[in-house]
Structure 1
Amino acid sequence: MKGKNSYDITIIITVALLVVIGIIMVFSSSYSYSLGTKGDPFFFLKRLLVWAVVGSIAMWVFARIKYWTLQRYANILLLGALTTLILVLTPLGININGASRWLGVGSLTVMPSEIAKFAVIIFVPTSIVRKKEKIQTFTYGLLPYLTLCGIIFGLIYLQPDFSTAFVVCVVIISMVFVGGIKLSHFIALIAMGASGLASMITYIFISGKGYKARRITAFLDPWADPSDSGFQAVQSLLAIGSGGLFGKGLGKSIQKHFYLPEPQNDFIFAIISEELGFIGGVFIILLFVILIWRGIRVAINAPDLLGCLMASGIISMITVQVMINIAVATSSMPVTGMPLPFISYGGTSLVITMACMGILLNISRHSKLDRS
């Protein structure tokens, strides 16, 4: 298999634009918070620039590596991901704001849940390709991936991080579906997942205990308790609404000044909408639509099943994260921690996502695409 085509230039330009916009908006949204909490207004900017360089290198490296050679490391990657997910639940895990989601030393930390996303995007396609026609059976087609979903979901949920656990499961299920799982098995898998999710939400809501229950009630009516459980949703809506059509101007957000908690992370879309307005928000969404569209084209035109599955997993990961992040920012779903790919502050997330883009670019090099 020889790659004679050029890389998909649309993907490269779109990713570059998103990363640059992310750097600018992280600096704009974090300036006051960084100055007040770290004593350095450039604290988050400097770190993000380092991670952006590391991510660009990762993207370039994986764009150069022939994607089918990654099969050799599938088992090692999954084992490593599971190991780090277990370690983060031990005293080695770094607890921040009541959540143990990080491993590391001092200021250098990584999120094992992000590593898990990358691992399943390599492992699941490799596993499906090796099974071939056995994917239609219950024993080889449904049970192993159902078990994998359960193990990874459980480990990430215990951190606790429900949204990331959900994303990893969606990525696995999407690749299994594209891989040719029996339709009845797929429907059963979706039904089990939906019923489990519905039961969990119902229990949390009825019990009325814990922060998860408060998030659900706040979603139903954030204005009922705007100073506590509905605070984040209300501040996000105020930011988006006050932006109007053209926004207040870059750097002129009001909500980032200690109204919206950590605006450089999960609610950065609200700050973008406040400073750049409806036009800015739509432009960001349009960039993601273009990226997802090109990714789907790469998956459809991939030269083999492995490339198709890897591309499908990568695009499903991006799609779900974008949908959840924007839905949370617009109070269309309960508040949950989910970064906006390429834009929200987060080193591990940025590097892993850009590494996945490198794999997608390598697949595009071997695909028959209209590159105009």
Structure 2
Amino acid sequence: MGKKNPYDFTVIITVAMLVATGIIMVFSSSFSYAMVVLGDGYYFLKRIMIWAVIGTFSMYFCAKVNYWTWKKYANIMLLGSIILLILVLTPLGKEVNGAQRWIGVGSITVMPSEIAKFTAIVFVATSLTRKREDLQKFFQGVVPYLLLAGMFFGFIYAQPDFSTAFVVVIIIISMVFVGGMKLSHFVGLVGAGSVALASMIGYIFIAGKGYKAKRITAFLDPWADPTDSGFQAVQSLLALGSGGIFGRGLGRSVQKHFYLPEPQNDFIFAIIGEELGFIGGVMIILLFMILIWRGIRIAVNAPDFFACLMATGITTMVIVQVVINIAVATSSMPVTGMPLPFISFGGNALVIFMASMGILLNISKHTNMNRS
């Protein structure tokens, strides 16, 4: 394993800044909604604080556990994740806002799709480490991972949750590519995937039925129907635009007062832009860029193949979710539910991301960051 180095302090301080910002912005964006609807303005603050503490312990635990330990539990984790994804589609699943994505009793809930992302990273990294030489063969090496990605996509899309399903597929494909897939196979897959995605979007748009079609038409012109299909996009743009360079000031958002639905979740970046302005939004993006940079550095300089793949999967998960969330908030892509890592309200997501950062820290401890 080589000599151990200090943990990557940049990752620690960046994650701490993002989580602290998330706690502040969740409280600021949710107070009005929580006070009026739930009768407790501190409802979301208290819960995000609890989850942040749990996430901190998870991050600490995973940073202490040798990253090779995860290989022992890869198969069990995959089986458990599949069982949870099946159970969420049964009467045991809890439906919220038309989506059945949670399993739980009372106020304690688990989101299997978040666990699936973490499971996919561990299992694919373990499998590729054992079958690295097979990746040069398309049917023997690549197809099994495509089937795995398709299985995850199918279960999660059925909830329905297209964005998370898409993230899992991107994570798996990126890990297979880094693992040694032929460039020609990768280009072919990207091309086929792009055609399939474009065809699906085109079909939904032409059919013109359901909320998916409305989201596509709203993306093309949100102002055409600002009170219905384009409502979220319009309110998000108004929030970002009214923030200007320096913002209205912390706690002074207007759009969070029942204009932008549940601003503490998927559209929290819009509230950041409104209250902290362009400067605040850029600072958040810079923090994510620093974190992503460190993740890539750790992956490139990883002490072994398994560590490289784990770091690749974790970093890819952060990249894809940040890009999708900010793209949705800025109306650069159709509206879809995707939390902003470390910042949006959501206990399961926060714990998974912080635990993943713990694994990244453990890998950094075995990594010589001065290597080219």
Q: TM-score, normalised by structure 2?
A: 0.98
Aligned to 1:191: 191
Q: Which deviations, in whole Å up to 9, do the C-alpha atoms of 1:279-311 show, x marking residues without a partner?
A: 000000000000000100000000011000100
Alignment of 1:200-349 (within 5 A): 200-349=200-349
Contact 2:269-2:281 at 8 Å conserved across structures: yes
| Aligned residue in 1 for 2:24 | 24
Match of 1:134 in 2: 134
Secondary structure at 2:260 match in 1: coil
Q: What is the aligned partner in structure 1 of residue 53 from structure 2? A: 53
- Per mean C-alpha deviation after superposition, the further-off stretch among 135-144 and 340-349 is 135-144
Cα deviation code 1:207-242 (max 9, x no counterpart): 000000000000000000000000000000000000
Name the SS of the counterpart of 2:189 in structure 1.
helix
Query: In 1, distance between residues paired with 2:211 and 2:31?
Result: 28
**Distance in 1 between residues matched to 2:131 and 2:57, nearest whole Å:** 33
Q: Does 1:179 align with 2:166?
A: no
Distance 1:3 1:15, change over 3 A: farther
Aligned residue identity for 2:181: I
Q: What residue is the counterpart of 1:119 in the other structure?
A: 119
Identity of aligned residues (%): 71
* 1:370 to partner: Cα distance: 4.5
- Determine the structure 1 residue equivalent to 2:366: 366
Displacement of 1:2 in angstroms is 4.5
1:143 is matched with which residue?
A: 143
Unaligned runs of 5+ in 1: none
1:22 partner SS? helix
Code of the residue aligned with 2:237 in structure 1: it is L
Give the superposition deviation at 1:192.
Answer: 2.4
Aligned to 1:95, the other structure's residue is in SS state strand
What residue identity is the alignment partner of 2:277? G
1:352 is aligned to 352
Distance 1:248 1:365 in 2: 42
Residue 57 of structure 1 aligns with an amino acid whose one-letter code is F
Aligned counterparts of 1:240 and 1:260: Cα–Cα separation in 2: 12
Counterpart CA distance in 2 for 1:223 and 1:175 is 39
Deviates more, 1:28-37 or 1:180-189: 180-189
Aligned twin of 1:81: 81
**Paired positions, count:** 371
Residue pair 1:110, 1:348 contacting (<8 A) in 2 also: yes
CA drift at 1:187: 2.0
Between 226-235 and 126-135, the greater mean CA deviation after superposition? 126-135
Mapped contact 2:132–2:180 kept (Cα < 8 A): no
Query: 1:183 offset after TM fit, Å?
Result: 2.0
Q: Distance in 2 between matches of 1:135 and 1:45?
A: 47
Q: How far apart are the structure 2 equivalents of 1:79 and 1:135?
A: 23
Please identify, of 180-189 and 151-160, the stretch whose mean Cα deviation from structure 2 is larger.
180-189
> In the TM superposition, what whole-angstrom CA distance separates every residue of 1:127-176 from its partner, at most 9, and x where no partner exists?
00101211211233211111011111011001000000000000000000
Q: Distance in 2 between the 1:34 and 1:313 partners?
A: 35
Deviation at 1:3, TM superposition (A): 4.7
